[in-house]
Structure 1
Amino acid sequence: MTNKIKHPRKRIVVLEFKDKDAIYTYNTCAELAVANNKNKIGIGIGALWNALAKNNGVYENDLCKIYYRKIENNNNTEWK
């Protein structure tokens, strides 16, 4: 029997709309694309992956700004 190793998530995807001043966070780019269609964010999922890969994890257009934000997983913290 093999156990699947689940790696902790290292980053999340942040969506900031420029006209609404609203910030939304998603676990993956695919979740962002499902929740917001191409007309709403101005880019499709394939182009978004390419833009984030080429521009150090940041994509910006007239409608919104999408970027990766690092998170810390403190699994080995000691309680005091």
Structure 2
Amino acid sequence: MDKSTELVSLEDVAVDFTWEEWRDLNDAQRTLYRDVMLETYSSLVSLGYCISKPEVILKLEKGAEPWIRKEYPKQCLPG
């Protein structure tokens, strides 16, 4: 398969935010993000590129905050 016929996934074009990044967005930016992500997903589905609905789309459709939790390694505290 050459480069021009490779499939695109939502993960290829999606932007993920941490909580810290999400809270810095204003309401207009959050609305724009939701609109663009849902439209992009819809376009990919109409082209047959998406099989299962990603977690971020499920969250956006429910009106939930789509930010991702940044995991930090657990640290051992001195006893």
Q: TM-score, normalised by structure 1?
A: 0.26
Query: Could you say which structure has the higher strand fraction?
Result: 1
Q: Between the two structures, name the one with larger relative contact order (CA 8 Å, sep ≥ 6).
A: 2
Between Structure 1 and Structure 2, which shows a larger proportion of helix residues?
Answer: 2
